[in-house]
A = this chain, B = another copy of it.
Amino acid sequence: MKKRKTNIFLGWLLTVTLCISNSALHSQEHPKLILTKAGVEKIRAELGKVPLFDESLEELKNEVDAEIALGIDTPIPKDYSGGYTHTRHKKNWFVLQKAGVLYQILDDEKYAIYVRDMLLQYAELYPTLPAHPKTRSYARGKLFWQCLNDSNWLVYASQAYDCIYDFLSKRERKNLEKNLFRPFADWISVENPQFYNRVHNHSTWGNAAVGMIGLLMGDDELVDRALYGLKNAPVNTGEKDNDGGFIYSDDGRAGFLANLDEPFSPDGYYTEGPYYQRYAMYPFLIFAEGLENVKPELKILEYKDGVLLRAVNALLNLSDADGEFFPLNDGQKGMSIYTSSLVSAVDIAYRYGGKNPQLLSIAQEQGQVLLDDSGLDVAVGIRDGLAKPFEKKSINLSDGPKGEQGGVGILRYGNEDLTLVFKYAAQGLSHGHYDKLSYSFFEKGDEVLQDYGLSRFVNIEQKGGGNYLKENKTWAKQTISHNTLVQNETSHFKGKYEIGSKHHSQLYFFDASQSTVQVVSAKESNAYPGTEMHRTMALIKGDSFEKPFLLDILKVTSDSKNQYDLPFYFMGQVIQTNFEYNAPETIEPLGKKYGYQHLWTEGQGKASEDNSKFSWMNERRFYTLTTTTTAADEMRFVRIGANDPEFNLRRDAGLMLRRKDTQHTTFVSVLESHGSYSPVSEFAVNSKSNIASVKKVRDDEKYTAIVIEDIKGEKYVFILSNKDESNSSKHNLNINGNDYSWSGPYFFK
């Protein structure tokens, strides 16, 4: 597999190598990177005629004018994220870029003067700076505590420099390049190879920063360093970064292209998950746009079958009905398609990706456009009434450079009325969590069963400097914090990055061809050596049901007897159970490690014979979980928050099914969303489960067959072929006197 990847890369390299050499004679015009001389002329001609563009411009102008009025401040760096010096330098990079754009579009020198003065101030400051005084990072920056933020700064500042390039004297340019930009680019690359020469979102920023200033200064050495990484940098030292990820990958490849090859699957899924994909989209796309403008012969947007544009589509599909990204791996809840890096992603994807009119409706909701050629195209498209609704459908996104390392399956019903997010992906680098075959479930934009997301208050300095909190490792990354199986109170891969990084789950099949029965199924055999988990999730709309229900079949086969815990992190308030439980007088943590130390037991009892039922209410809707159990199973109500003295964790609830001393077993659960409650009319509608029973009528190596009976006596049969997923295979089966014949991996009626 590694060999084939290298070949493809070499192929593209051959195609473009000559072009790169030729392009050394690049244009001397400025701006040329993101804005272009021709583009600016076109923009000026359209001013006042394209509402969304004009509004975005007006907003930007107000913001920059307010900053200019405040005056320039480039303080001596000293703080972590959220502190003053951090926030000020961060603000500066945005304002620099924006003021540069305003100078070009409005042709008003005050903006050029502001950019010039600030850059000159930085050129004076920078040579005096040692590494940042805060030492927590594996790669300290100079303006910021980590090289990552310094790279952010340079990605934006280069655009500002481009905009005022012609406004500056030759001497000023020389000063800036010598005292600021070149040493800046060197610091984040040659001085910090452990940061720069990785396959990681951090490095993508570093690569883009070095590449953009390189394109601008006409320095092909820097552009090469950006595209291909540092030569002769250390390889595979086993060192780790702050998040516990390996710094160097096995094959030592680095640079922008390696960062396109490795973490992106052919479907455009970014292995770290959507929260980090969103973060990386800006440097990926803005540097790509710069390359497209300065070195069009590179055809960067066609690289790897157009993966950058596919990535925008994947990312938009990795959001809920409110546009918020699914918090897979380390994801902060609330981050959404309305963030600024998605504005650039959508605009650039529109311009360069065939002008998909569905992107225009996203841009409309974003309410702003880039102030460049792409943004103008989008604003014109909207003005001309071309926008169409963006339709999110069920989608399977493969993970891994070749799409062969598992993935994420998303099943949607209706207009995102119900959404299943099923994760059977690879580790996701250092931001990955240990949760194979886990899922979360949404109704519209509300979480029904949640993925906890990260434990961090990003940029809120009072909470651990705004950085990852220790509970991110002790809770959020652990398996038990997810809706998936935990064996013997131990996380998948024992929570070890070294092991987890080597493995991924395997897709069994994905079928969303019929809207009334959609199925995703995957297997995992490395999380617990000797144990295979096979989880199949189906979103099924039965005739007598108001909404689809979710059928969850988790078949566990092991070479030994184990304890299995299957938690359900429901959101909302308990309404009813059909099993008895006791609430303890004093409450204690459930365990000592692997996240169990963070769970209180609020209730504990025996499961019901056959089916245990649990109903809750959230956001004015009712939900019921019906799961097959025996009286030997244990049910526990848990609450997050034990051993969390600083209240870093949310006090959310869960219900845990515990099955002890068992070798092979199959968990079968049905989750219904039903009815509604209004505190205004005080009517409770359809507040009870419509399911009378869920039964395993056959469960062996070859087949698992489930019968779901509703309260009117109607029966639904779902049969899964456990070993043969071929679409063409024919199956004939007799269960309790009924004959079933079908082709393909499953039967449903």
Contact = CB atoms under 8 A, between A and B. Distances in A.
A156 interface: no
Contact of A460 (B332, B338, B600, B684): B684
B602 A641 contact: yes
A80 to B, nearest CB: 12
A333 B679 contact: yes
Contacts of A87: 683
Among A463, A575, A582, A647, which residue has the most Cβ atoms of chain B within 10 A? A647
Contacts of A645: 581-583, 603
A681 B340 contact: yes
Among A573, A603, A644, A681, which residue has the most Cβ atoms of chain B within 10 A? A573
Contact of A651 (B82, B582, B651, B683): B651
B651 A639 contact: yes
Interface in A563-610: 573-576, 581-583, 585-589, 600, 602-603
Copies in the complex: 2
Contacts of A466: 684
A316 to B, nearest CB: 15
Interface residues of A, number: 55
B335 A462 contact: no
A459 B460 CA distance: 42
B339 A680 contact: yes
| Interface residue SS majority, chain A | loop
Contact of A458 (B332, B615, B682): B682
Interface in A635-681: 637, 639, 641, 643-647, 650-651, 653, 677, 679-681
B600 A643 contact: no
A461 interface: yes
A414 interface: no
A647 to B, nearest CB: 4
A462 B688 contact: yes
Contacts of A644: 583
Contacts of A159: none
Nearest to A466: B684
Contacts of A677: 460
28 contacts: A87-B683, A335-B679, A335-B680, A339-B680, A457-B617, A459-B683, A460-B575, A460-B617, A460-B684, A461-B684, A461-B687, A462-B575, A462-B576, A462-B688, A466-B684, A573-B647, A573-B650, A574-B647, A582-B645, A583-B644, A585-B643, A586-B587, A586-B588, A586-B589, A587-B587, A603-B647, A639-B651, A651-B651
Closest 7 CB pairs of A and B: A334-B679, A574-B647, A583-B645, A462-B576, A586-B588, A460-B684, A339-B680
